[in-house]
Structure 1
Amino acid sequence: MTTQSNLKGILNTKDMVIYGLVFMIPLAPAAMYGTYLGPSSGMVALCYLIGMVAMLFTGLSYRIMSKKYPFAGSVYLYVQKSLSPHLGFLTGWSILLDYFLMPATVVIIGSSFGNSLIPDIPLWAWSLFFILFSTITNILGVEWLSKCSWVLFVLQILVLIAFVICTIQVLVNHTIHFNTISLYNPDGFQISGVLQATGIVILSYLGFDAISTLAEEAIHPEKTVGRAIIWSILISGIIFFLTTFLAGMVYPDYQTLNPDTAFLDVVNFVGGKWLTTFTTIILITSFGMATCQTSHAAVARILFAMGRDGVLPKAMGRVSVKFQTPYVAIAFVGAIITPISLLCSLDTIATMVSFGALVGFIMLNFSIIWKFYIKDRKLRSEKSAAWKYLLLPLIGLAVTMGIFVNLDMEAHIVGFSWLAFGIGYLFLVTRGFSNPVPQMELG
């Protein structure tokens, strides 16, 4: 092992799109479909559609920043260089909350499905297996990560294809009838409830941000990162929308569904026991292995970037000579998510996961406007400047701000408490804000 900070750049656009899609989990609606039904009054497809639009505008801002700063660190680096090192640290600190909770969340979901399939294996054993698998494969390198991502992505798509085919069959047989309740329910429409559910749905789109954390492991990151982000948002959004639209059409009487097993009940209705079992197995591998791997990798790269800068302990910036991965950060993430996965319930952390991401998205969109439109007179004079550097990020800012305001109160309490702790930590690191915030000098 060594303290050098050179990562191995081998990923192409397709690899990074698949990485993002696996992070976002094509089967994500299957795990938390019941959670979304109540606040959205059954309009889950509408929530995913709003989420896709919101993330697409923000994704365009990521594309601009990834071209300007093709380095690991994501919004931490982007805000640091565009606004100020202090705000960059606090933005990175905020999104760390989500990135630590995300792998723990998917481990809990994967373990619950595993335990339901094989009750003799306890939840804690499933959790430890998933975390150990993720830690080892992440240390081994992005080649392993990429290969696993491709395999597990294909398996998820097979499940979705089977679900679509079975739904079409019961529709043709007149067992169900066409309806649009998942898109618009006139009897229960409340914009506050839809936005609250969308705030949780945003969790499913976090993978596009994670793509930017692998910038230093990509081929031509100034091009591949932005392309992969846009494609992953579009593809995942279409998949999420189609899946939840069909689920709503199959079971319009959503109030009778068990929130814990809602989507599997829908699957069982259209496909029977074989499709339910197949879906459960793929959910175990998708959440417990695939997304645990990718989310683990993302938070490790944020820690790596902050450690390399010196704003976190320098050990976080260490890279393995043999595998060219940030092994200290990866091992640290594994150690942190273990107690969270074992001791916390899904209900406790599910509503908190989007806080940091939304803070990051808000700060990123504002950074685009500030740096490229307000401060840079040369860019502002370009023909498309008002569209690219003002209007689009302003829409992204407005939509993400609207979702952020409508987050659950518990998410705000935990999120702002975490942010306050980060301010205290920054106060100590900078000796009462008298010293500059450590940061990497870009060549």
Structure 2
Amino acid sequence: MNSTTSARQKPATGLGPQLRRRKSIQQMIGDSESSSSGGALRRTLGMWQLTMISVGATMGTGILVILGATVPIAGPAIWISFVIAGVTALLSAVSYAEMAGMVPVAGSSYSYSYATMGEGIAWICGWCLVLEYAVSVAAVAVGAGEYVNETLRAFNMELPASLAGGPAEGGVVNLPALIVVVLATLLLVRGARESAIVNTVVVVIKAGILVFFSIVAFSAFNAGNFEPLLPMGAAGVTAAASSVFFSYIGFDAASTAGEEAKNPKRDLPRAIMLSMLIVTLTYVLVAVSAIGAREWTWFEGTEAALVQIVGEITGQPWLVLVFALASVLAIASVVLTVLYGQTRILLSMSRDGLVPAAFGKVSKRTGTPVIGTLITGILVAITAGFIPLGALADATSIGTLFAFALVGVSVMYLRRKQPLAPRTFKVPFYPITPILGVLACLFLMSQLSWHTWVVFGGWMLVGIILYLAYGRRRSVLGQLSKQEYIDSHLGNK
């Protein structure tokens, strides 16, 4: 025990070489099949369930509330902003599809970066994913209080102000947000299959609600609402695209299920591409129908535009109630699937020694990382219930875009280093597509405000300190001598 502790306190190599050390794909797959952490994850998910995980993590409250904030920026051309953001996400999605087929493990872009760019970039990517998943799920859950109140108002009831929002909103605790996260955590502890079944049902319901909205909105469609198309100019469209990109965050959730998919090399690429198609078409349909139903100036200051449009067109309060209930379900679905992805990424990082071992212990009874799920769920629940997220939530898009860009680089690296390796999906029009994907991500990052960059820089600084203080000294690869590392890495040559 003492020798192990001593070894962990003194890496076998210098900082520079350790940051560049890569983990072979074969070693990653071998670690995922090992039961040394108490048990292996169970392969129970088919293509449809994987697709629903991605759709569930992506299609959340964003589309229900984001029009009020983005239509005033882009005008009637908001649907073009959704297309731009969707194309950007798609350019990254095809890279994710290729990598998911080659590296069918739970770490998503963290694992892809480890196999191509080394431990240093992998840690940065993993830290970005913590921002993307943990912070975004807390930010989404915070909206639960308002939508629960929307539901209760249909019955002339309302939550007390002290329970409808955290201290930043003048309350004591956002009780609905806390409850949603706790319930999602308990469901994830039971098993991935049970969670996937519940998520599939919820995704079908909320997709149906959005289609129903589009039908209602098209009944009051006025083509004149699209004139002028670009009142805020092209700059407004691209600025809005950076904002609505938040609505596409989550499509990569299926890639975190690499170790629980029945046939990951075949199904993961298909699920990622199918989910992107479903989400993009739905978003554009909703945006076009909403603008057709109301002039673009109407949306300014409107927090729940879709609910209001349905209520005004139909005059039926019960439909408003249905939309409010669907919004709560949308929140629950996003919380469930994104929290799932976060626990699987932390599991992969734990195997590599970069985060505590508790996150990597898999229960033999449930086939899930029970301890890691409970720790993550508790921390997210506290964050959602009590802590104002502010600009940290805004920085989520930067962290996500950065991780997406790294996946495009990973594809190009492996195409160069392992051109003959078997690939169940190949990025079309290589190398143009991954290059465009990386450039598109960098462009959208450049459109975000400077204070968001400052917050992101602070987040990265904290991550670097944590790596140097903890991860570097406990890294599995960092403990290997140069010859041991070469021997373990031969499978990646």
**TM-score of the pair, normalised by structure 2:** 0.81
Q: Which residue among 259, 283, 291 is the counterpart of 2:302?
A: 259
Residue 147 of structure 1 corresponds to: 197
Q: Cα RMSD between the aligned structures? A: 2.8
1:110-148, Cα deviation, whole Å (9 max, x unpaired): 222112332136322212211111110010111221111
Deviation at 1:23, TM superposition (A): 1.1
Alpha-carbon spacing, 1:164–1:220, altered in 2? closer, same or farther (3 Å) = same
How far 1:149 sits from its partner (Å)? 1.1
Q: Deviations over 1:63-105 (max 9, x none)?
A: 1111111101000000110111211111111121111112112
Kept after mapping to 2: 8 A contact 1:56/1:233: yes
- 2:469 aligned partner: 428
Residue in 2 aligned with 1:105?
139
1:211 to 251, 254, 261: 254
- From 383, 395, 403, the equivalent of 1:340 is 383
Partner of 1:161: 211
Paired-residue identity, %: 22
> Matches of 2:451 and 2:150 in 1, distance apart?
29
User: 1:45 aligns to what?
Assistant: 79
Q: Tell whether the 8 Å contact from 1:135 to 1:330 is kept in structure 2 after alignment.
A: yes
Aligned CA distance change for structure 1 residues 412 and 346 (closer, same or farther; 3 Å): same
Q: After the TM superposition, which of the residue ranges 326-335 and 70-79 deviates more from structure 2?
A: 326-335
Q: Tell which deviates more after alignment, 244-253 or 134-143.
A: 244-253
Determine if contact 1:52/1:234 at 8 Å carries over to the other structure.
no
Within 5 Å, give how 1:25-104 maps onto structure 2.
Answer: 25=59, 28-104=62-138
SS in 1 for 2:122: helix
Deviation digits for residues 270-310 of structure 1 (CA, Å, limit 9, x no counterpart): 233232221111101211x2111111101111111101211
Change in CA separation of 1:293 and 1:221 when aligned onto 2, cut-off 3 Å: same
Counterpart position of 1:18: 52
Change (3 A) 1:26 1:256: closer
- Structure showing greater Rg: 2
Query: What is the rounded CA distance, in whole Å, between the counterparts of 1:277 and 1:387 in structure 2?
Result: 44
Q: What is the one-letter code of the residue matched to 1:120?
A: L
Counterpart residue number, 2:30: none
> For the residues of structure 2 that align with 1:207 and 1:263, how far apart are their CA atoms?
22
Q: Which deviations, in whole Å up to 9, do the C-alpha atoms of 1:19-69 show, x marking residues without a partner?
A: 111111266311222122233335321121111111111111111111111
Mapped partners of 2:254, 2:262: distance in 1: 13
Q: Secondary structure at the match of 2:467?
A: helix
Q: CA shift at 1:256, angstroms?
A: 5.5
Q: Who is 2:413 aligned against?
A: 370
How many Å separate the matches in 2 of 1:46 and 1:31?
Answer: 18
Distance 2:147 2:427 in 1: 48
Corresponding residue of 2:28: none
**Aligned residue in 2 for 1:199:** 242
Distance 1:149 1:386 in 2: 29
What is the match of residue 136 of structure 1? 186
AA at the equivalent of 2:233 = F
Check whether the contact 2:41–2:368 (CA below 8 A) recurs between aligned residues.
Answer: yes
Letter of the structure 1 residue corresponding to residue 435 of structure 2: L
Q: 1:403 is matched with which residue?
A: 444
Q: Give the direction of change, closer, same or farther, for the CA distance of 1:244–1:344 in structure 2 (3 Å limit).
A: farther
**Matching of residues 305-344 of structure 1 within 5 Å:** 305-344=348-387
Cα pair distance change 1:51/1:438, threshold 3 Å: farther
| Partner in structure 2 of residue 189 of structure 1 | 233
- Structure 2: how far apart are the matches of 1:423 and 1:346? 21
Equivalent residue for 1:282, pick from 326, 330, 347: 326
Pick closer, same or farther for the CA change 1:343–1:199 going to 2, 3 Å. farther
Q: Quick check: 1:291 aligned with 2:319?
A: no
* Mapped partners of 1:234, 1:434: distance in 2: 39
- Give the TM-score normalised by structure 1: 0.89
Provide structure 2 residue ranges, at least 5 long, that are not aligned to the other structure. Answer: 1-34, 153-157, 165-173
Q: Distance in 1 between matches of 2:479 and 2:234?
A: 46
Q: Secondary structure at the match of 2:302?
A: coil
